[in-house]
Amino acid sequence: MIHRVRMLFTKKWDMFNITTFYKSDFHREETARLLKRLGQSTDITKDVYYGTFAYIVGATYKVSQIWDTVDEDGIDLERLLETIDPYSVSEKIMIRFALQCFNSRLDDISISDVMRHLDDENTKVIKQAIDIRY
């Protein structure tokens, strides 16, 4: 039997006194790594468009796989969509929602389509991203 350890990592948003939920240290690290790749501050609240994109993608633990589809010039949408094609339904939906948070013209996935496919931790991530973005 495999036992999972659930961890809650938080960070205070200074001006709003809001706590950021991270699924794990790795989620936090992947978010920061992706933000650096995009040429952004590692503070997800500095730029909520890049911040929510990186935060959600970081939660999928797929930053290494999508690494070549993003850089300081932005996101190569066509390559990213090709890269995520073999991913699980929940991973694809989360990344599509991350794109929508980054730029609402990039995708039009509904929140009900997003939430229907997620486990509890990823549901918390999406709710947190909505709080950050909007």
Cβ density class 36-52: b for 16+ within 10 Å, e for less? ebbebeeebbebbebbb
- Which residues fall within 8 angstroms of residue 25, CB to CB, at 6 or more apart? 7, 9
- Position of tokens 């796989």? 65
pTM of the model: 0.86
Tokens of 47: 């730029």
Query: So what's the pLDDT on residue 16?
Result: 55
40-93 residue pLDDT tens? 999 999 999 999 999 999 999 999 999 999 999 999 999 999 999 999 999 999
DSSP state letters, 46-83 = TSHHHHHHHHHHHHHT-HHHHGGGEETTEE-HHHHHHH
Q: Which residue(s) pair with 19 in the sheet?
A: 12
18-36 residue pLDDT tens? 689 999 999 999 999 999 9
